Chains A and B, each alone.
Chain A
Amino acid sequence: MKPPRELLEDVLGSLAGARLRYADIRWTATHQQHVKVRNGEVDHLSANVDHALGVRVLVGNGWGFAATSDVNEESIRRAAKRALAVAAASNIASTAPVVLSDIEPHVSTWASKFEIDPWSIPLERKIDHLLQATEPMRGDPRMQQVAGEISCYRQEKLFASTIGTFLDQTTTEMGGGIEAIAIDGGEMQRRTYPNPFGGDFQAEGWEFIERLRLAEKGLQIRDEALALLAAPKAPAGRFDLIVGSAQLALQVHESCGHPTELDRALGLEISLAGGSFLQPNMLNDFRYGSELVNIVADATIPGSIGSFGFDDDGVPAQRFHLIRDGMFVDYLTGRDTAPAIGRKSNGTVRAESAARIPIIRMTNINLEPGTTPVEDIIRDTKRGIFVETNKSWSIDDLRLNFQFGCEVAYEIENGRLGRLLRNPVYTGTTPDFWRSCDAVGDRASWQIWGLPNCGKGDPMQTMRVAHGAPAARFRNVEMA
């Protein structure tokens, strides 16, 4: 099914015309397998294969994009003609000149690494693995649901462009996790491991699932879910807040990753996702967080689902600071947006599949580790709250005002973790929150978390991104 390079380059050649400034063709084959067990039964078993080919052209100042799921020569050539027609339509109603940042041509092959191919593991073993983890969690009548999921993902991608780039990339990923839902009367509590919504995801093979050790964690989350039913509600008021690595990863996603997307800042995503409070005139001149806060975009981390060889503009994967020592220093950019701030693309443009237009997406957006062991941060906290594992997330359209709910919290009194608390919710505004950061956990508490469900674009594109974060402390945060 993989179309030959010669065909893609021939189609690109056929597009040449007086006003054609640029064109590229992408092909993707996306394979997915999902297994879910629930309360001792197989709840969901599915396998998907999606083939897509997309042609993107820039004619004058109008972009045109056409895609097809029917990947044969006739359909590809027809899609190319449709892309030109769409670009002609864009020229009727596009007003701003399109400027593309320079790029070198690349011919390259890239693939993520794995030890054990996810598809080499029989379904039966995946099911058994989940049942072994979840069956011991059952028994208590309040344990309404125990569930486990394993996901396999592979995307093969070809990219050819009129500047002579030809790329062949393959990403293989696995995800897995377990869940316990306890209900007693009107009270419901959910605990998950290692994360909700399918667990954690890495660009690895079956070895990642084994490393999760789901069976060893089941009873722990069951007990926590049951204990939360009777735990006191997390108090409202202002507290010193220690945010665990998994929750802080989502905080980074919502309040660091999205506002540093340049397309949002330029107003290009207002209609669906919104804009950004971080405007270009604030570059290098805005204190986003305390001096301890260093946010790095790094698409080169081996084994993470936010990594790749080249983005969907054909720009090599890169590592760069977005926030350096608390100062806002860069955006995530693409070839058609970077010139607006006088820079070159830093290679963050991706599409869910070849059937969608590439747009700026997060890669691995990480809070760099500090130097303080988490135990020392807790010991140094007189009165506070420790929160972990996301339950609920909401942030305004400029990425300023946020509210997060977590699965679990612990009271901190005189440097020690105390009582378990249920339904913790904290809220704030992005710069105030990050400026209040006065302790960042060391490398030992730093972990990278895969989020395979970041939504953006119209039609909505679900992108696979990741965030590294340690635990960190924030002073005087409002708990709702």
Chain B
Amino acid sequence: MRSEQESQEILARALGAAQTSEADAVFIAVDHDVSRFANSGVHQNMSDESASLTLRVIVNGAMGVATTSAFDPDELARVAELAREAARHAGPLQHFSGLYREGEPAPQLRTFDEATALLDPAAKAHDLRAMFDRGRERGVTFAGSWSTATASVATANTHGVQRYAQMTSSDATVIALSSGASGYATRCARSANDVNILALGDEATDKATLLVDKPEDLPPGAYDVILEPPALSEVFEWLNMIAFSGQSFDDGTSFFAGRLGEQLLGRNVTIADDAVDESFLPFPFDLEGLPKRRVALVENGIVRSPALDKAYADRLQLAPTASCWSLGSSEHGSSFHMAMDGGDATREELIRSTKLGIWVTRFNYVNGLLEPKTALMTGTTRDGTFLIRDGEVVARLPNLRWTQSLTEALNRVEGLTRERRRVGTWFNMFGGTLAPTVKIAGWTINAKG
């Protein structure tokens, strides 16, 4: 992590090296500790201190981008020349009104926790050791990872916009294994105090040991499913790529394309890009320096907006959504804080309301490219799949393969819990998914997975 002064000095030197009337730059420094464990022992343990600078220049309305991890004057000059060369060869951006210049204040958000920044690998190892010991008492072994990070994120552009934020995160995943069965628990938060590794071990153990003596199979067919937040997170990550991104909207492959303002999903489905909810994983600005605000992607089933960087907001003549997480990326915007509104139920009430259904902990290896226009996806269940009969969880199911159109499924949401949980995503250091547990009717199960 670097201070605001040091970060802005590096950015100022990069913008100076750009030698163009319009340029912006992002400087990110991350101290990242990851402890991976398997068979109830830490087997990979790392500490990475990295920093990178991305410089974007605009030449005659065209964009060029270059990135480096070295910041001496020679390297900055070289990077600037690479970016200028790229811009000279790129065509002008359609309808581009220039880089962000308004500079409205960014929201004041709690993104940093001192105790998390000071947490060292030894302290984490002691907590993990305690979890392993407790698992031995209950006859399970653990696999998973616990990552903590401290980062500084700074942006600046030639219009005088400057942003800086410090950020911490703690993200843990625990899988408990017992007698051929497994259970899963995950948490992520800005503060490590909100990630209790022992509690996660207990939650995963409960799932791994539940109904292990009552296995059943289920024939293929359409079933009511109760999807916990990690399962929803997997399909939302795909929706982000195939439906919510500026690129998929522009190229017409998104089911959003040409349908803004239409009721395409159920009225109880609201999904927002929400980095300003402090109970989620708050962050105050995007990497173009635009202040974050809550942006409805889907509101009561009506599709409202894709997630856009400024270039594509201009190109599509849509309101900017402050969704740039990589300068000049091919996605042209992405929702890194995907939040689904909850309902008024509890998970137990959803289970009780189900005559015949499946309770799903998480999905594995989802793929959303089968038919993007209907968001047809496939995947398997994993780490805790259970049969519900007459409102009771009665048996443990094997992993199941499913293939399902999400545009259809999200028209059949029959209930949502009030409680929502944060789920981290490996490619997203800024946010993740905030989702309730949902009950969806008629989910298509193909086979044992």
Binding site for B on A (CB under 8 A): 1, 36, 38, 41-52, 62-71, 75, 79, 82-83, 85-90, 92-96, 123-124, 127, 144-145, 181, 183, 186-188, 266-272, 274, 355-357, 359, 391-397, 401, 403, 405, 423, 425, 427, 458-460, 480
A93 to B129, CA, bound (A): 5
* A270: chain B residues within 8 A (beta carbon): 38, 143, 175, 177
Evaluate contact between B90 and A45: CB separation under 8 angstroms: yes
Q: Of B34, B38, B47, B447, which is in contact with the most chain A CB atoms at under 10 Å from its CB?
A: B47
Residues in A with CB closer than 8 Å to B89 are: 42, 45, 123-124, 127
- Interface pair B399/A423, CB less than 8 Å apart: no
Instruction: Point out the residues of chain A lying under 8 angstroms from B134, CB to CB.
Output: none
B173 interfacial contact with A, CB 8 Å: yes
Contacts of A92 in B (CB 8 A): 42, 122, 125-126, 129
Cα(A270)–Cα(B49), bound, Å: 26
Determine whether the beta carbon of A394 is less than 8 Å from that of B328: no
Q: Which residue of A lies closest to B429 (CB)?
A: A459
Contact of A66 with B364 in the complex, beta carbons under 8 Å: no
User: From residue A74, how far is it (CB to closest CB) to chain B in Å?
Assistant: 12
Complex alpha-carbon distance, A123 and B62, angstroms:
15
B67 touches A1 (CB 8 A): no
Q: Which residue of B lies closest to A149 (CB)?
A: B330
Q: Could you tell me the distance in whole angstroms from the C-beta of B181 to the nearest C-beta in chain A?
A: 13
Interface residue from A48, A94, A123, A145 paired with B43 (Cβ < 8 Å):
A94
User: Whole-angstrom distance between the alpha carbons of A181 and B247 in the complex?
Assistant: 13
Q: Is the CB of B371 within 8 A of A423?
A: yes
Tell whether, in the assembled complex, residue B46 and residue A69 are in contact, meaning their CB atoms are under 8 Å apart: no
Q: How far is the CA of A88 from the CA of B124 in the complex (A)?
A: 12
Q: Please give me the 9 A-B residue pairs with the lowest Cβ-Cβ distance, nearest first.
A: A89-B121, A45-B86, A92-B125, A95-B41, A42-B90, A69-B50, A270-B143, A69-B69, A65-B46
A46 CB contacts on chain B under 8 angstroms: 64-67, 86, 328
In the complex, what residues of B have CB within 8 A of residue A480's CB? 403, 446
Closest to A127 in B: B89
Given A43-B330, A46-B328, A392-B370 in contact, is the A274-B364 Cβ separation under 8 Å? Answer: yes
CA distance A408 to B60 in the complex (A): 41
Question: Digit string of B257-284 for contact with A (CB within 8 Å is 1, else 0)?
Answer: 0000000000000000000000000000
A268–B38 CB distance below 8 A: yes
Say whether B45 contacts A391, CB under 8 Å: no
Rounded to whole angstroms, the CA-CA distance of A365 and B25 in the bound complex is 41
Q: In the complex, are the beta carbons of B66 and A48 less than 8 A apart?
A: yes
Q: Is the CB of B132 within 8 A of A93?
A: yes
9 inter-chain pairs at a CB distance below 8 angstroms, sorted by A residue, are: A47-B65, A48-B67, A52-B50, A69-B69, A86-B33, A144-B252, A268-B143, A359-B44, A397-B365
Candidates B252, B330, B370; contact of A145 at CB < 8 Å: B252
Instruction: Judge if B348 is at the interface, Cβ distance under 8 Å.
Output: no
Segment of B97-105, B150-158, B375-383 in the binding face = B375-383
Interface size bracket, B side = 35 or more
Residue B77 lies at the interface, judged by CB distance under 8 Å to chain A: no
CB of A399, distance to nearest CB on chain B (Å):
10
Q: Does B68 contact A (CB under 8 A)?
A: yes
Which of A181, A394, A458 meets B378, CB within 8 Å?
A: A394
Alpha-carbon gap, A107 to B30, bound state (A): 34
Q: Are A186 and B373 in contact (CB under 8 A)?
A: yes
Is B19's beta carbon under 8 Å from chain A? no
- Asked whether B218 is an interface residue with its Cβ less than 8 Å from the other chain, the reply is no
A79 to B31, CA, bound (A): 12
Q: How far is the CA of A92 from the CA of B329 in the complex (A)?
A: 42
Alpha-carbon distance between A150 and B64 when the two chains are bound, in angstroms: 16
Q: Tell me the smallest distance from the CB of A165 to a CB of chain B, in Å.
A: 21
Contacts A66-B46, A268-B43, A397-B382; A145 near B449 (Cβ below 8 A): no
B368 to chain A, nearest CB (A): 8
Task: Name the one of B45, B128, B175, B252 contacting A64, with C-beta atoms under 8 angstroms.
Answer: B45
Cβ of B213 under 8 Å from chain A: no
Q: 19 new A-B pairs (CB below 8 Å) besides A66-B48, A96-B39?
A: A45-B64, A45-B87, A47-B66, A49-B67, A50-B67, A51-B70, A63-B45, A66-B46, A68-B48, A85-B122, A92-B125, A93-B41, A93-B128, A94-B43, A144-B253, A188-B252, A271-B174, A355-B48, A355-B50
Whether A181 and B32, one on each chain, are in contact in the complex, defined by CB atoms closer than 8 angstroms, is no
Q: Which of B86, B401, B427 contacts A460 (CB 8 A)?
A: B427
Residues of chain B having any CB pair with chain A under 8 Å:
32-52, 62-70, 75, 79, 82-83, 85-87, 89-91, 94, 120-122, 124-126, 128-129, 132, 143-145, 147, 173-175, 177, 251-253, 328-330, 364-367, 369-374, 378-380, 382, 399, 401, 403, 426-427, 446-449
Chain B residue contacts of A181, Cβ below 8 A: 251-253
- Chain A nearest Cβ from B273, distance in angstroms: 23
Whether A82 pairs with B47 at a CB distance below 8 angstroms is yes
For the complex formed, measure the closest distance between the CB of B144 and the CB atoms of chain A, giving whole angstroms.
4
Residues of chain A contacted by B129 (CB below 8 angstroms): 92-93
Cβ–Cβ < 8 Å partners of A357 in chain B: 44, 46
Residue of B nearest to A56 (CB): B46
Residues of A within 8 A of B374 (CB): 186
Cβ of A69 and Cβ of B52 under 8 Å apart? yes
- Supposing A144-B251, A396-B401 touch, asked if A459 and B147 sit within 8 A by C-beta, the answer is yes
Q: Which residues on A sit within 8 Å (CB–CB) of B34?
A: 458-459
Contact A94 B41 (CB under 8 A): yes
In the complex formed, the residue of A with least CB distance to B90 is A42
Give Cα A345–Cα B177 distance, bound, in whole angstroms. 28
- The CA of A90 and the CA of B35, in the complex, are separated in Å by 8
Task: Given A46-B66, A272-B426, A401-B448, verify A86-B364 contact (CB < 8 Å).
Answer: no
How close is B184's CB to chain A, nearest CB, in angstroms?
Answer: 9
Please give the distance in Å from B169's CB to the nearest CB on chain A: 13
The residues of B that contact A401 with a CB separation of less than 8 Å are 380, 399, 401, 447-449
Which residue of B40, B147, B367 contacts A392 across the interface (Cβ within 8 Å)?
B367
Q: Are A67 and B65 in contact (CB under 8 A)?
A: no
Contacting pair B401 A89 (CB below 8 A): no
A47 to B446, CA, bound (A): 44
**Contacts of A272 on B, CB cut-off 8 Å?**
145, 173, 426
Return B233 CB to nearest CB of chain A, in Å: 14
CA distance A392 to B376 in the complex (A): 10
Alpha-carbon distance between A199 and B369 when the two chains are bound, in angstroms: 17
Q: Output the residue of A66, A71, A83, A458 with the most chain B CB within 10 A.
A: A458
B248 to nearest A CB, angstroms? 10
Whether A96 lies near B49 (C-beta < 8 A) is no
Q: Name the one of A79, A93, A144 contacting B42, with C-beta atoms under 8 angstroms.
A: A93
Please give, as numbers and ranges, the residues of chain B lying within 8 Å of A66 by CB-CB distance.
46-49
B131's nearest neighbour on chain A, judged by CB, is: A93
Specify which chain A residues have a CB less than 8 angstroms from the CB of B128 in the assembled complex: 93
CB contacts (< 8 Å) of B446 on chain A: these are 403, 427, 480
Question: Are B45's CB and A427's CB within 8 A?
Answer: no
Docked-complex contact A392 and B378, CB < 8 angstroms: yes
Q: Write the chain B residue with the least CB distance to A87.
A: B45
Give chain A residues whose Cβ lies under 8 Å from the Cβ of B94. 41
Are A145 and B251 in touch, CB under 8 angstroms? yes
Hey, which chain B residues are within 8 Å of A269, CB to CB? 38
Q: Which chain B residues lie closer than 8 Å to A48 at the CB level?
A: 66-68
Residues of chain B within 8 A (CB-CB) of A268 are 38-39, 43-44, 143
Expressed in whole angstroms, the minimum distance between the Cβ of A52 and any Cβ of chain B is 7
Q: Quick check: A391 and B121 within 8 Å, CB to CB?
A: no
Instruction: Say whether, besides A89-B120, A123-B86, A396-B382, A47 and B67 are in contact (CB < 8 Å).
Output: yes
